[in-house]
Structure 1
């Protein structure tokens, strides 16, 4: 009873904010910004934010009984047009119309869409801008009235902030609106902030939470101070203390958005010393060593290698060796099933698997497990499998064994798996992962090779062969003896997207962005390549890594089912020379490296010239939008997120790219900052923001349902499939590393046909010719080997 009393007292000392989210991709940037404000008043020891969606409640009548629990409401940014009312904003329009006056005393801050909705309810008009601003930083100018209202206390006369809006508020002649702030551009003088007279209701059009906005924390702090002061005067602060269901109600509200971890992190893990085998050797530092080693490995292998070493990327290579003890997890989103079996188990045939996928119940007695589950439950299956296999050992080595494989685009949030091809499309996995016990791991920076086994079964003959051929030898050939070209006798039929279809898709993107539905849309295309005769995937990979070396090269050939007589199991193959890391984590930190902005290398294009192009408003805006989106994805689960590198230009074999680095800190349970692992962050961050655009939810849905299906109907029924997903590993020592599936090719039929994806971020500053050129530049990096 005493503990409950203390808990209630602590909550009463907190300032409680209700945040209404319209499925925006910057929501948790705002939420964390609110929570970070600690110096509100001596009576307030913390700020607690309860986040709900704009459609969590169907009417104000449902929300009204909960309002006494909250000291303030923040209505966040989001896609859509407030003129469309509940269709685009859910409960927000009714919130501001406030016919019964129940909110007059409740402090409210509206941001972007919230600001527009607030002003519209007061009689202002909301119109489309002539020149739209997405991811652009502008100077804001305070009006005299801003000084007296308190929202901008401590501000200079001008400051810079980021704009993400297609629409603007025209408040001319609306006496009830008090203008506080404005900016100027080609559209003229635009209202950027206002207060509703005689009410504690404020709003800003710009985004104070953006990493390029100045004094965003001060704005939020000022609003919270105004809210506390207002609640003290009106008696709301004291009346809140009388609510005895405080804790239960807030807990239920917090659970309206599912953020349960996929497994429970333990305070301590076993060392695994008795079963884990790790043997270290000195070897050449040449990254081509990985490929030399691959040449002598006759067993099945997955390769995650670097063909070029750069600082903080491409320093390690991993050769994973599946064997009969390796569990294979495949998820089929179109039919909501997961299959689990051992690698090349002779008791599991393709005909058996196909019957199970088609819905026939079989008495299998163990060799094949079929689980009926959707994408969200698939993550739980992986978590349950891994949670008792995690060990606290050799964390300095990125991978010592664990799950490796591919998570396709359709495994991500907001993406449906309704392929529009033939019936066999339902048998295409959208995720495939294999548990690895034995691996060869190479540190190219230090010249160290590790033979590793989780169950002390590392092949003796392989270890001896590695020792005889590579250990302490520094004479790795400068040029590996792999063919630079594919066999001349093989012809290739190449089917690319129609340029007219691309132009129509580009126009649709522009239309949706101008209407305010999206800030940025990653429009992707798929090209199909059919060889006149099948070339071994490993043979293609040999040529690919030479033509387009990259820090995240990958080779996966999933021959996990032994062909029976007369059967030809479909084999998923994936070959990648990706330049982009998506997500890397260890036991304490998590890093994302979004790439946006690409310039082709050439005689007239060096690093200096590329930097000038990549720092133009268009490229800057592309990167900033994805940077803010990724901060949001991390902030949803982890409170400590930092931008460690801001828009650096990196050089690759064929292009220059604009790259940023964002890190989350405090993943360990001992830190008490979060209950989540890197795998939870991966789940909540997919699909990669650099491959979707922002806001992610509506942008993903528009691309999939309205734009890309016709553009790419010649491949996978219009689905992206493996392309735009991620490839990597979850190691049992709590490390993980996943690269984005770009500059890649994949096959669902063992190489009888290949698909190559390429795309780019479309913004309102994009041109059709410019986007086509960028798309072809990216496509050419891998398509060149077939031409």
Structure 2
């Protein structure tokens, strides 16, 4: 397709129904190439961008075709569930080639008098055989059957105006998997061609786009597009969904910083030995189980009077900014400013979306372009709670949802190579700490001499009762059977109240020995001069799960879904059998596809580097996948955009993420707080590493009472008893220190 000697793009309108797999479809479309037209360009709108399809009609002549993505809801419920899809298939749309996927397929079939009904046995994240029926150009080049992933609670029946193109057979009988509407260029598939486990998805999209081009030539739609071609139309519609980066990238500077290198013992215990020798405040991210890919480094951060502290309260729509233990600022004064209306340099009135801009604008001037081989040189360190996710509703609370501290002095330890580094951005590494690091006793490989048990005291452990969990479990199942969600990560929190408060560091000592993990953290935020213990935010974590790691060009996520408790009768081989069952497979695949979607929304290249590997930890076996995104360096987006965009972690929500988060908010009826959030760092050399806040203890009052969360992914294959057992297994990993 050419105009004035230049080829026009093949323009596709994609209608997104707020699904967590939409951008997997978008990238699949964009990856197609054709010799007789320019690149494939996709313009994305939501299904509620227009109240009625008639408002969209004037734009359709500018597009070669429409692709309707998957999504939650039931088209039978009309626009309340599916927005403009309820009115899309009218006479004015008839000349536009359309491909409907899952929800789009169902809405198309319903418009042709098909019945939409709930499956007897629902299929979420299950890979099935799809068989072709007849000969259709949509499946040109296909074998007679192929494998593809299904995510659907509902199905469509055959109807006189529908030409069946493919079907599958299972416990539900024979089910329609693909159709064409008679005498129209409208096609639909019930399965998900974009899933990681679907075969020939790209070929399906390529075939459809070819059909659209051929149809447009036959009907003159291509000529009309050339005559009315207007790039501003695509730009206008493309702005409907805000894609503005958190901050504008600057060219990083090159600076000389202080680094002193040591040869040390190859043991994770070294980090903990150093911390024991220190009396200064410290924020610790320690690997307590060395592993080349997920526990190679430990970092000890040393806040001082130059350290900026950013604390955000999403419920109050306030951010406080001050120096670490600023001598001019008391806790009481800050609380007065935080809850008042007077202007102050210490308090910004901003929502959580603006908080990200504040953090990005602060860091963009501090980024440097050298020393990329070290994971951390200094930068922002801290924790971001679950409620920092854009799509998470706010709950009234005076507790902070985010706390980040800018660090200039730090200690890095590479446990695999036996190297240690003292690093200072300000060239003033504390001499007292250097004296500790120079001590010969740090070179030995002796075991750490910490007690395995806490001091004798009584703990009041308040756990949620089984009945309340059962009710929540039933509510999740009801939503999934209706088609509102594919998977829901239902969580519960336990409160622990010691009769006599125990120092957080003392609890951490026992926790990392009882449950060593690659992402252990000790954060005691004593950042104000008069801060009492009962006003101090603390986090003690032995998390096994990396959420997000990035550098200047790439990022990696390692979602964990599927947990089996270790024991005398549970060997690795048996755990693999359990973790590769359809239930566990479906859980992991859904989150894998969700993460691919989140990365594809910002980055052009995403690949699955590891698919459902079984990893062994101190108390459990877990099913892990690794997803990598590439192209940050040449993108307007940064790692901070990926972090903001991906929160909350998909492994802690389910899919589709947006509606599932809202449903869980109504079911759980409480804030998750620090639990289900993330903890980590963003270094000035633009390296970052964040872990998910699971297997953790946190306190808003310095340890007068601790909270411990646990949860698990509920799917239609879940049993109430099985999920309760998994939840208790996860709780035991952290609660064992109190028993």
**Does the residue aligned with 2:438 lie in a helix, a strand or coil?**
helix
- Cα deviation code 1:620-657 (max 9, x no counterpart): 00000000000000000001000000100000000000
Structure 2 residue 665 is the aligned partner of structure 1 residue 665: no
Equivalent residue, structure 2, for 1:684: 645
Equivalent residue, structure 2, for 1:548: 515
Equivalent residue, structure 2, for 1:496: 463
- Pick the aligned partner of 1:641 from 606, 625, 646: 606
Query: Do 2:125 and 2:149's aligned partners in 1 also have CA atoms closer than 8 Å?
Result: yes
Query: Do 1:283 and 1:470's aligned partners in 2 also have CA atoms closer than 8 Å?
Result: no
Query: Do 1:599 and 1:656's aligned partners in 2 also have CA atoms closer than 8 Å?
Result: yes
- Pick the aligned partner of 1:455 from 426, 432, 436: 426
Equivalent residue, structure 2, for 1:138: 128
- Pick the aligned partner of 2:170 from 171, 176, 185: 185
Query: Do 2:699 and 2:706's aligned partners in 1 also have CA atoms closer than 8 Å?
Result: yes
**How far, CA to CA, are the matches of 1:373 and 1:248 in structure 2?**
33
**How far, CA to CA, are the matches of 1:320 and 1:242 in structure 2?**
62
Query: Do 1:563 and 1:569's aligned partners in 2 also have CA atoms closer than 8 Å?
Result: no
Equivalent residue, structure 2, for 1:623: 588
**Does the residue aligned with 1:545 lie in a helix, a strand or coil?**
helix
Equivalent residue, structure 2, for 1:360: 341
Equivalent residue, structure 1, for 2:501: 534
**Does the residue aligned with 1:683 lie in a helix, a strand or coil?**
helix
TM-aligned CA deviation for residue 11 of structure 1:
8.7
- Cα deviation code 1:300-355 (max 9, x no counterpart): 10000101012301000000111110000011000111111001102111111111
**How far, CA to CA, are the matches of 1:526 and 1:468 in structure 2?**
43
- Pick the aligned partner of 1:429 from 400, 407, 410: 400
**Does the residue aligned with 1:184 lie in a helix, a strand or coil?**
strand
Equivalent residue, structure 1, for 2:453: 485
TM-aligned CA deviation for residue 467 of structure 1:
1.0
- Pick the aligned partner of 1:159 from 141, 146, 153: 146
- Cα deviation code 1:648-681 (max 9, x no counterpart): 0000000000000000012113xxxx22111110
Q: What's the TM-score once normalised by structure 1's chain length? A: 0.92
TM-aligned CA deviation for residue 12 of structure 1:
5.6
- Pick the aligned partner of 1:732 from 671, 684, 689: 684
- Pick the aligned partner of 1:288 from 254, 259, 269: 269
TM-aligned CA deviation for residue 568 of structure 1:
6.4
**How far, CA to CA, are the matches of 1:12 and 1:120 in structure 2?**
37
TM-aligned CA deviation for residue 25 of structure 1:
0.2
Equivalent residue, structure 1, for 2:244: 260
CA shift in 2, pair 1:118/1:334, >3 Å: same
Matched length: 738
**How far, CA to CA, are the matches of 2:320 and 2:336 in structure 1?**
12
**Does the residue aligned with 1:241 lie in a helix, a strand or coil?**
helix
- Cα deviation code 1:464-500 (max 9, x no counterpart): 22112456x2x2312x111211111x21101111110
Query: Do 1:571 and 1:750's aligned partners in 2 also have CA atoms closer than 8 Å?
Result: yes
TM-aligned CA deviation for residue 356 of structure 1:
1.7
- Pick the aligned partner of 1:745 from 671, 694, 697: 697
Query: Do 1:24 and 1:79's aligned partners in 2 also have CA atoms closer than 8 Å?
Result: yes
TM-aligned CA deviation for residue 45 of structure 1:
2.1
**Does the residue aligned with 2:648 lie in a helix, a strand or coil?**
coil
Structure 2 residue 528 is the aligned partner of structure 1 residue 561: yes
**How far, CA to CA, are the matches of 2:394 and 2:428 in structure 1?**
39
Alignment of 1:255-404 (within 5 A): 255-266=239-250, 268-273=251-256, 276-361=257-342, 364=344, 366=345, 368=346, 370-404=347-381
Equivalent residue, structure 1, for 2:30: 35
Q: What's the TM-score once normalised by structure 2's chain length? A: 0.98
Structure 2 residue 567 is the aligned partner of structure 1 residue 584: no
Equivalent residue, structure 1, for 2:578: 613
Structure 2 residue 197 is the aligned partner of structure 1 residue 236: no
Q: Which runs of 5+ in 1 are unaligned?
A: 1-5, 420-424, 710-717
**How far, CA to CA, are the matches of 1:131 and 1:583 in structure 2?**
35
Equivalent residue, structure 2, for 1:697: 658
- Pick the aligned partner of 1:18 from 5, 13, 16: 13
TM-aligned CA deviation for residue 241 of structure 1:
2.0
**Does the residue aligned with 1:102 lie in a helix, a strand or coil?**
helix
**How far, CA to CA, are the matches of 2:280 and 2:306 in structure 1?**
14
Query: Do 2:193 and 2:204's aligned partners in 1 also have CA atoms closer than 8 Å?
Result: yes
Structure 2 residue 207 is the aligned partner of structure 1 residue 222: yes
Query: Do 1:12 and 1:241's aligned partners in 2 also have CA atoms closer than 8 Å?
Result: no
Query: Do 1:293 and 1:466's aligned partners in 2 also have CA atoms closer than 8 Å?
Result: yes
